[in-house]
Amino acid sequence: MPEAATTSSLATFGAAGAPSPEEVAAEVASLTNTQRAAVMLMLLGEEEAAAVIRHLAPKEVQHLSAAMISVADLSQEAVSAVLDGFIATIKKQTNIGGGLDYLENMLKTALGEDKASSVLSRILPASANRGLEVLQWMDARSISEMIVNEHPQIIAIVLSFLDYDVAADVIRFLPKNLRPEVIARVASLETIQPTAMAELESIMRKQFSSNSSLKSSSVGGVKAAAKIMNYVKTDIESVLMKDLTEQNADLAQSIQDNMFKFENLDGCDNRSIQTLMRNVAPELLMVALKGSNEIVKEKFLSNMSARARDMFIEEMEGKGPLRLSEVEDAQKQIMRTARRLSDAGEMMLSSGGGDYV
């Protein structure tokens, strides 16, 4: 790899005075796996990095690109530490092994046969579902224009195969009177029969390859609908949920129960938590944390300096008992702020805390 390429890729990395070992350790510890992958990619030349990116899914490319921007100020010492960690990990890998049989068995054990078949159909060239693959690379407006005149059930199926945030954007472009029914149908989906899959493929103007397996595919459900709703713009969400409640109150409540909650903030990365804290009044945060679990509470406290943490805890404990309604209202206000920041791309909401790459 040309030395010039490496130097150019890391030109913006911290060039100030060398940080202490403790500062480097803290800097590296704050990185997500996605950001570590971004550092490794930036250490490659442009051609090598492009070759890696070609093998990633659209959503992975998006998250990795954002991560590359977020590590632009990383110190040279932290970059070296990430590289050392990568090398140490590689040295432990004595056997990649397994092949296709291993992958298939592993997916079936983890996901069940139907879902495993659906995943394998996306990643194996011989049986790739080209129509759905094309969807992953289309923008939300184009997808909405393609499906807007289709039956709501077909629209629900399409949304269920998209990444949740993309599906949320598609909903934004659909007619307002259509949105509640589509979300209700997403929540009611469990499996897609071969006939429905064939109809979906006809919409995409693609045909299943002759050796494709027409198995029922498990998609949708209340949790999928809730995850889509997590990404819907806040103004659209309130109207949509109101309409859905009028149509089916029980279903609307089930979706609401599975949507992103205050407790899910423990899965956010530290930079997102710090961004949220800068946009929330300390008094409001104190009330919200009063009724939260210790994991979420520690997530916020660990992002404060020692002095600020002590003062915050002392003032929070000094508030005494609070009504549950006060705590819930504070948490909802903070979640609205979090959603707004997420909509603006200033923080990342994660329901499970997992990395994207």
DSSP symbol at 208: -
Confidence of residue 7 (pLDDT cuts 50, 70, 90): very low
Query: Quick one: average pLDDT of 129-155?
Result: 75
Give the residue extent of every domain in the chain: 3-92, 129-257, 262-343
Query: pLDDT digit string (tens) for 15-38?
Result: 445 678 888 888 888 888 888 888
Of the candidates 294, 168, 169, the one whose C-alpha atom is nearest the C-alpha of residue 225 is: 168
The 8 Å CB, 24+ separation contacts for 240-247 are 240/171, 240/179, 240/180, 240/183, 243/179, 243/180, 244/180, 244/183, 244/184, 247/180, 247/181, 247/184
Q: Do domains 129-257 and 262-343 have the same CATH topology?
A: yes
Alpha helices (H) along 189-262: 194-203, 222-231, 234-247, 249-257
Q: Yes or no: say if 342 and 234 are a contact pair by the CB < 8 Å rule.
A: no
Does the structure show a pLDDT above 50 at 142? yes
Instruction: State the pTM of this model.
Output: 0.40
CATH architecture classification, 129-257: Orthogonal Bundle (1.10)
Taking the alpha carbons of 332, 335, 337, 340 in that order, is the dihedral positive or negative?
Answer: negative
Q: Yes or no: say if 28 and 82 are a contact pair by the CB < 8 Å rule.
A: yes
Compare 126 and 239 and report the one with higher pLDDT.
239
What are the Cα distances from residue 199, in Å, to 133, 156, 157?
16, 13, 10
List, in sequence order, every beta strand (DSSP E) within 60-205.
191-192
Tell me how many degrees the CA angle 232-301-333 measures, rounded to the nearest 5. 35
9-13, 90-94, 141-145, 240-244: which range is least confident on average? 9-13
Q: What is the pLDDT of residue 129?
A: 44
The CATH number of the structural domain formed by 262-343 is: 1.10.220.30
Mean pLDDT computed over every residue of the chain: 75
Rounded Cα gap, residues 257 and 82, in angstroms:
39
Q: What is the pLDDT of residue 278?
A: 94
8-12, 76-80, 318-322, 349-353: which range is least confident on average? 8-12
Q: What is the pLDDT of residue 8?
A: 40
Q: Yes or no: say if 61 and 2 are a contact pair by the CB < 8 Å rule.
A: no
Contacts of 24 (CB under 8 A, 6+ apart): 75, 77, 78, 81
77-86, 121-130, 154-163, 345-354: which range is least confident on average? 121-130
Contacts of 15 (CB under 8 A, 6+ apart): 76
Rounded Cα gap, residues 9 and 4, in angstroms:
9
For residue 227, the tally of other CB atoms under 10 A from its CB is 21
For residue 43, the tally of other CB atoms under 10 A from its CB is 18
Query: pLDDT digit string (tens) for 192-243?
Result: 666 666 666 666 654 333 334 334 444 567 877 887 887 777 678 778 888 8
Residue type, 218: S
Rounded Cα gap, residues 67 and 357, in angstroms:
10
3-state helix, strand, coil in the chain (%, to 5): 70, 0, 30
Does the structure show a pLDDT above 80 at 11? no
Residue 274 tokens read as 């710090």
Rounded Cα gap, residues 178 and 51, in angstroms:
42
Does the structure show a pLDDT above 70 at 280? yes
Compare 352 and 91 and report the one with higher pLDDT.
91
Q: What is the pLDDT of residue 131?
A: 53
